[in-house]
Every structure is written in structure tokens, then in C-alpha cells.
Amino acid sequence: MRARYNSYHDYLKERFGCRVNKVSVDMGFTCPNRDGSLARGGCVYCNNDSFVPPYARARFTMHDQLTRGMEYLSGRFKAKKFIVYFQAYTNTYGGVNELERMYREALKYDGVVGIAVGTRSDCIDEEKLDMFERL
């Protein structure tokens, strides 16, 4: 029986013709509630070690994280295409030039069809929105 709604999973499969999975990366970002700008120690719900996969650790390069993650997701879920998920902490908490360089690097990988960026609303401004539009 078909669902009465169009799930995001189904939308991606229809749009790209195959299974699409998010592949997490940790690029070593922090956030204002961790680095002392607003607070120290982070938020109570922000324990990234509890939900970030083992291949997505900041000690690994983006290349290593993406290669391992895509290999794992291809084998486990038969994923053919990927959305790179900048997951850990606040992934717009940095200079726009460095952010754009990082996001563009992720988009160059074969099979990558987009990016998803975890952030906070107080860490987005017009300059960063313009950068996302350029991507």
C-alpha cells in the first residue's frame, strides 16, 4: 500500500533515479555556546559523539570521511548518490570564504548531489545566504 504522502526519501529517489543517503562529515567546527562567545561547554542536547558516525570525526580529512562514509552507505543501503551533511556543531560559524571553499570541495565528489548544513539561526547572515545561493 502506498503512503498518502510523498516522503523525502521517495522524492530524492524520484528526482535522482536511485537511493540517496546523507553522509556526515565533521569539519571541526565549534559554536558560540562552546567557544566562550556566548557560553562555555555547549548545550545539554549537543553531545555529537552520541549521533555522529565513527567515520565522521574531525581528526580525519574531508576526503577520508567522505570516502569511508560513501563506501559504508553504498554497501549497507545500496546508496548511489549522496548529500554531504555538515553535521557536528555549527557549520556556518566561520568566515564565508573558508565555508564556501569547504562546501565547494564536498560538491566535487562523484555521486554527491547536494549538501546539508547544520547550524544556528544566529550564525547565518546575508553574506552567508548569498554564498549558499552561489553554490
**Alpha carbon distance 113, 13 (integer Å):** 12
Q: What is the DSSP track for 5-52?
A: S--HHHHHHHHHSS-EEEEEE------TTTBSSS-BS--TT--GGGTS
Domain ranges of the chain: 24-134
Cell numbers at 40, concatenated:
562555555
> Look-up: residue for cell 574531525?
58
Sequential pLDDT tens for the chain (135 residues) = 677 888 999 999 999 999 999 999 989 887 776 666 776 776 666 666 655 666 666 678 999 999 999 999 999 999 999 999 998 878 898 999 999 999 999 999 999 999 999 998 889 999 999 999 999
